[in-house]
């Protein structure tokens, strides 16, 4: 298993449940991909996916784990401030990474290993890392990395050049997320707002609404720039990004938001694919190398990403 994001962890769990031995290679320290959490200012901030939602396959999976997510009591609003209808937001007080950490329990996860090459070795597939070290030979491989990274890896096998070209053609929107601690006169009456004001912020969320502390009255917030601004400002300095975000924070939260107690910027190069390849096209029947994740999911969203992991496990188990 290459990648310990949601689809990779789900595929690994399903394969282990079917009686197979699975090794997961993850290039970073964390698990979960964009289900990401960091500790700042004695509190916890989800700086990727802002929340889970109370219906669908992912909510059902999370509800069956030892620690289930909690419903956020404050509403989600639209750009007019009106509460939106639909599923309720869910979160873990200790951070959304509680979900991938639970999914990984009992699995063989090898972190800080970036697999960069595949070699055919008889009926097996040998994996190597970017330092030139061999990582073992395997009967099957599931790649859950973003499409450009999956394409680079597939291209190391002559037999996979066509699939590499298919996935390499998929572009991603980047995401720029500004996080800050704001000393506000009152806690906002909502958990989050979509499409704020002029639409420059696709999401403004209040992390303390998830049952987390606001140390010294510093309310932790996350502001997601829209896709256009994220692309324009991806390589900008943190100060330049702050100049764009802070007037919008003032508009939504008042003048106190103009002077954060602290702030940081998180950048995601591979946030959302701008197109997708159907799972069946990306994965020829009988192949021992299967690709899953957002680029081959049937539709946007974590539920579809989860389902792609389950389909990958079914393909590998059947070969």
pLDDT digits 0-9 by tens, 90-140:
999 999 999 999 999 999 999 999 999 999 999 999 999 999 999 999 999
pLDDT tens for 270-311 read 999 999 999 999 999 999 999 999 999 999 999 999 999 999
For residues 210 and 67, state if they share a domain: yes
For a pLDDT cut of 90, what percent of the chain falls above it? Answer: 89
For residues 147 and 270, state if they share a domain: no
Cα three-residue angle 89-46-304, rounded to 5 degrees: 55
For a pLDDT cut of 70, what percent of the chain falls above it? Answer: 97
> Checking phi first, is residue 216 left (phi over 0); if not, alpha (psi -120 to 50) or beta?
left
pLDDT tens for 132-156 read 999 999 999 999 999 999 999 999 9
For residues 66 and 199, state if they share a domain: yes
Q: How many residues does the chain have?
A: 319
Overall average pLDDT of the 193-212 stretch? 92
The answer as to whether 1 is a domain residue is: no
Residue 251 lies in domain: 42-95+172-274
* pTM of the complete model: 0.94
For residues 130 and 213, state if they share a domain: no
- Mean per-residue pLDDT over the chain, rounded: 94
Largest Cα separation within the chain, whole Å, is 67
User: How many domains in the chain?
Assistant: 2
Distances (CA, A) of 254 to 61, 77, 246, 262: 39, 17, 10, 17
What distance, in Å, lies between the first and last C-alpha atoms of the chain? 15
Cα three-residue angle 279-282-287, rounded to 5 degrees: 105
Whole-number pLDDT of residue 95: 96
CATH code (residue 233): 3.90.660.10
CATH code (residue 124): 3.50.50.60
Tokens of 197: 């004001």
Q: Which residues, at least 6 apart from 316, have a Cβ–Cβ distance to it below 8 Å?
A: 11, 15, 20, 140, 142, 288, 290
Q: Is the dihedral of CA 63, 76, 269, 315 positive or negative?
A: positive
Q: Which helix (H) or strand (E) holds 224?
A: strand 218-225
For residues 185 and 258, state if they share a domain: yes
């Amino acid at each position: 298993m290459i990648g310990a994001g949601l689809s990779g962890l789900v595929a690994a769990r399903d394969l282990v449940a079917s009686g197979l031995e699975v090794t997961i290679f993850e290039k970073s320290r964390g698990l979960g991909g964009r289900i990401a959490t960091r500790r700042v200012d004695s509190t916890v901030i989800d700086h990727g996916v802002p929340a889970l939602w109370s219906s669908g396959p992912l909510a059902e999976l999370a509800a069956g784990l030892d620690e289930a997510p909690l419903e956020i009591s404050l509403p989600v609003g639209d750009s007019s401030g009106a509460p939106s209808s639909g599923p309720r937001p869910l979160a873990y007080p200790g951070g959304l990474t509680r979900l991938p950490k639970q999914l990984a329990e009992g699995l063989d996860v090898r972190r800080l290993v970036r697999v960069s090459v595949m070699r055919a070795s008889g009926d097996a597939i040998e994996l190597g890392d970017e330092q030139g070290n061999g990582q073992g030979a395997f009967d099957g491989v599931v790649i859950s990395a973003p499409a450009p990274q999956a394409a680079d890896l597939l291209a190391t096998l002559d037999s996979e050049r066509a699939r590499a070209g298919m996935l390499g053609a998929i572009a991603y929107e980047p995401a720029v997320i500004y996080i800050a601690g704001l000393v506000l006169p009152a806690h906002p009456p909502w958990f989050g707002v979509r499409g704020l004001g002029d639409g420059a912020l696709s999401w403004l969320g209040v992390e303390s609404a998830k049952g987390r502390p606001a140390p010294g009255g510093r309310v932790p917030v996350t502001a997601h720039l829209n896709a256009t601004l994220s692309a324009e400002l991806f390589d900008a300095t943190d100060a330049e990004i702050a100049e764009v975000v802070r007037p919008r924070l003032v508009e939504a939260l008042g003048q106190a938001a103009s002077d954060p107690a602290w702030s940081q910027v998180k950048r995601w190069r591979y946030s959302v694919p701008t197109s997708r390849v159907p799972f069946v096209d990306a994965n020829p029947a009988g192949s021992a190398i299967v690709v899953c994740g957002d680029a081959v999911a049937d539709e946007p969203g974590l539920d579809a990403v989860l389902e792609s992991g389950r389909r990958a496990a079914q393909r590998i188990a059947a070969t």
